[in-house]
């Protein structure tokens, strides 16, 4: 048990600082988005005299989860050397947690963002849904493969500008 009486940590202040640090922890697969943009960082709070960061992995086997955990810990420990990380599996990560601004950033970087809500099952594979080309904005596109370079993306091709592009799967 930590003896709170000898602690001289200011919990609220530390949490605030760690939260600020987290804005610079980027998703290694999508380096233009922070883990906060991605909805991977779920919570930062103070417990038992240290800061706790909670993250939720995007996919069960996503290799980036390990890198992200290390990056979060490194960043948080600059502020609080005893900071801890926790992995929360429930509720399961969903693309619904990716905000509007982050979706726009994806598009600017050539990745078609998830379309709509994950509750619409048709969005799962893009079947029957139009995924516009992030480069020329044409709606004349084709699914090449439901799987892509990372677990979270599917491969598409634009029939107008002929460029291949990736679509962030809606889950």
Partner 1 sequence: MNNSQLKSALLRLGDDALILGQRLAEWCGHAPALEEDIALTNISLDLIGQTQSYLSLAGSLFEDGVKTDDELTFLRTDREFQNLLLVEQPNGNFGDTIVRQFLFDKFALLRAEHLAQQTFNSEAAAIAAKAVKEIRYHADHSSKWVIRLGDGTTESHDRVQKSLDDLWKFTGEMFISDEIDRAGVESGFLPNLDDLKKKWDEEIDNVLGEATLTRPEDCFMQTGGRTGIHTEQLSFMLAEMQVLPRTYPGTSW
- CA 114/CA 4 separation, integer angstroms: 45
- CA 93/CA 152 separation, integer angstroms: 11
Report angle CA 122, 124, 129 to the nearest 5 degrees: 45
Give the pair of three-digit tokens for residue 53.
């960061």
Binding residue (CB under 8 A) for partner 1 from 3, 5, 8, 90: 90
Number of alpha carbons in the 13 Å side-chain half-sphere of residue 159: 8
User: 35-74 mask for partner 1 (x: CB under 8 A)?
Assistant: ----------------------x-xxxxx-----------
User: 100-139 mask for partner 1 (x: CB under 8 A)?
Assistant: ------------------------xx--------------
Q: Can residue 167 be called a binding residue for partner 1 (CB under 8 A)?
A: no
Q: Can residue 145 be called a binding residue for partner 1 (CB under 8 A)?
A: yes
Nearest to 33 by CA among 114, 92, 87: 114
**Shortest reach from residue 72's CB to partner 1, in Å:** 19
Q: Can residue 8 be called a binding residue for partner 1 (CB under 8 A)?
A: no
For 63, residues 6+ apart whose C-beta sits below 8 A from its C-beta are none
Where on the chain is the footprint of partner 1 (CB under 8 A)?
Answer: 57, 59-63, 88-93, 124-125, 144-149, 151, 155, 169, 171
């Amino acid at each position: 048990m930590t003896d709170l009486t000898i602690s001289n940590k200011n919990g609220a202040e530390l949490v605030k600082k760690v939260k600020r640090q987290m804005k610079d922890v980027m998703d290694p697969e999508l380096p233009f988005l922070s883990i906060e943009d991605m909805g991977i960082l779920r919570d930062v709070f103070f417990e038992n005299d240290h800061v706790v960061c909670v993250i939720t992995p995007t996919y069960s086997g996503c290799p980036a989860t390990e890198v992200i955990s290390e990056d979060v810990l490194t960043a948080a420990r600059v502020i609080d050397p005893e900071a801890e990380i926790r992995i929360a599996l429930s509720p399961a990560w969903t693309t619904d947690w990716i905000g509007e601004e982050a979706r726009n950033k994806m598009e600017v970087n050539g990745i078609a963002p998830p379309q709509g809500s994950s509750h619409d099952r048709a969005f799962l594979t893009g079947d029957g849904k139009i995924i516009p080309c992030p480069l020329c904005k044409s709606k004349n596109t084709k699914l090449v493969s439901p799987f892509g370079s990372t677990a979270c993306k599917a491969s598409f091709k634009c029939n107008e500008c002929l460029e291949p592009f990736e679509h962030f799967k809606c889950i």
